Structure 1
Amino acid sequence: MNKDFSLKDKVIVLTGGTGIIGKSFIKGIVEAGGAVCILGRNGAVARDRANEVIKNGGKALGLVVDVLDETSLQKAKEQILNQFGKIDGLVNAAGGNMPEAILQKGDDIFGMNMDGMRKALDLNLWGTLLPSQIFGSAMIENGGSIVNISSMSAKRVITRVLGYSMGKAAVDCYTQWFAVELANRYGDKLRMNAIAPGFFLTEQNRTLLTNTDGTYTERGNLVIQQTPFKRFGHTDELIGALQWLLSDASAFVTGTIINVDGGFFVNGGV
């Protein structure tokens, strides 16, 4: 691997490391030579994934962390610094949607579940901002890269998921704003960018996009029609963008949101 794309000797913190996309991110970080700190609410999965990395010769640490709990995040930072001595990168992959935040067909648009939408917004926005504050502060001396996860719903109107969409739109704003503030204070030492995935099948959206027999729902078919590649993405197809943004190969890149979407965003439908 070109040394600029390498993560050798870099310590990368990954929130949402127990999810489907998180699993691919672990693979990408380890393949590029990085040590990965796998954070998630499911401690058993976090530890199992870390042990698998270690068994195969890599470096990893699995920790139980709630990205909305500052005490939990601070404790994780201390454990990571005690074991590895530094933090070189952060991937804010924790996020997603929840059933109570989804507007169902036939629901009264003026009777939306405000608490549910607030939970979705908080998870995606504050679940990105709080880890950045806590782990980012440990990256000031040596520098590093922070990668957030955006969404197509931050760029185009995706029906039924307003709370999630508002959270991801706020993540876009935060990514650009914070990137400028980091540059103004630390020059090119600390960078922040984001990846905006198109439609990938995850636990949060699987029932919206596919039937139990694996066929597409009406909504799933609409997504495929709007995606020029005419398929959903595979989570491993996010790895290249992640490795690039975490590595020195993107040293002059900050405040950028990279679409990995099979052409969904740019498609006018005509």
Structure 2
Amino acid sequence: MPYTNLFSLQEKVIIVTGGTGVLGEAFIRGIHEAGGSVVILGRNQEEGEARAEELRAAGGQAIFAKADVLNEADLIAARDLTLQTYGRIDGLVNGAGGNLAGAVIQPDQNLFDMDLPALRQAFELNLFGTLQPTLIFGKWIAESERGGSIVNISSMAAQSAITRVLGYSMAKGSVDNFTRWMSVELAQRYGDKVRMNAIAPGFFITHQNRDLLTNQDGSYTTRGAAVIRNTPYQRFGKPDELIGALVWLLSDASAFVSGEIVSVDGGFSVFSGV
């Protein structure tokens, strides 16, 4: 294949869970711009339908399927809709996830008085919300003639101790472990047909963390300032800056890459603070 075509997603159908979120919007747009057909999964039907229509208006192929990543029946229905519409699945982006207020350990909270139900909920959303779509969509990818690529979304919280976000950190650490484990099992059972990798974003402003990192006037909170201080680029990431890594991992350009956790973080993960 010519070098210029390696990064193309032409004739590839990619499912994106969490496609109605802030980062999900960048994911679906990047896949569209690389020539791929997009299946947007999310719980916000109005937003999902609007995003699919926007891509279609721009000349792309896109559909929306309302689905909760923890609901097996929703995912099966989304798989069936995808196959009815396009006849194949070539990739999966496990973009659904996020933090929950009850799973955050506040500075003035008794350390031994954690909200265990909330921690379990955060763990289920981020880990099993990655695992369950992989089982349902990944099975079709693995057993198809074409094979394909699965990309999970990790976090800086999986790589070092970030205060407060215990539930989220444990879950994302497990996502990293699952990514490595599953990549090996896939290779041993299906050869090079299916690869699994993950992207570990640095700090990006989303609906969930905006109030933790920035004040209403746009200035940094104490926590936001600490993040900037420990990010060599001295700024937060822009969602579009995740697109290059995502397209690479979904495209044939990464055909010999599996089990990797790719940091897109402005240097946060390698900076010692000195």
Normalised TM-score (structure 2): 0.97
Residue number in structure 1 paired with 2:172: 168
Q: CA RMSD in A?
A: 0.8
Which runs of 5 or more structure 2 residues have no equivalent in the other structure? none
Deviation for aligned residue 1:100: 1.4
Partner amino acid, structure 1, of 2:224: G
Partner amino acid, structure 1, of 2:113: G
Residue number in structure 1 paired with 2:25: 23
Distance 2:139 2:80 in 1: 12
Deviation for aligned residue 1:98: 1.4
- Mapped pair 1:156 → 2:160: yes
Residue number in structure 2 paired with 1:228: 232
Which runs of 5 or more structure 1 residues have no equivalent in the other structure? none
What is the SS of the residue equivalent to 2:272? coil
Deviation for aligned residue 1:59: 0.1
- Mapped pair 1:257 → 2:256: no
Per-residue CA distance 1:178-210 (angstroms, 9 max, x = gap)? 000000011111000000000000011111111
Distance 2:58 2:68 in 1: 27
Deviation for aligned residue 1:115: 1.1
- Mapped pair 1:70 → 2:88: no
Residue number in structure 2 paired with 1:99: 101
- Mapped pair 1:110 → 2:117: no
Deviates more, 1:143-152 or 1:109-118: 109-118
Deviation for aligned residue 1:146: 0.1
Normalised TM-score (structure 1): 0.99
Per-residue CA distance 1:83-116 (angstroms, 9 max, x = gap)? 0000000000000101111112201111111111
Residue number in structure 1 paired with 2:41: 39
1:230-249 equivalences under 5 Å are 230-249=234-253
Residue number in structure 1 paired with 2:211: 207
What is the SS of the residue equivalent to 2:54? helix
Distance 1:158 1:122 in 2: 20
- Mapped pair 1:188 → 2:189: no
Partner amino acid, structure 2, of 1:107: Q
Per-residue CA distance 1:48-82 (angstroms, 9 max, x = gap)? 10011011110000110000001110011001000
What is the SS of the residue equivalent to 1:37? strand
Number of residue equivalences: 270
- Mapped pair 1:128 → 2:158: no
Residue number in structure 1 paired with 2:148: 144
Partner amino acid, structure 2, of 1:184: Q
Runs (4+) of structure 1 exceeding 4 A deviation are: none
Partner amino acid, structure 2, of 1:78: D
Residue number in structure 2 paired with 1:48: 50
Distance 2:97 2:4 in 1: 32
Distance 2:79 2:72 in 1: 10
Residue number in structure 2 paired with 1:89: 91
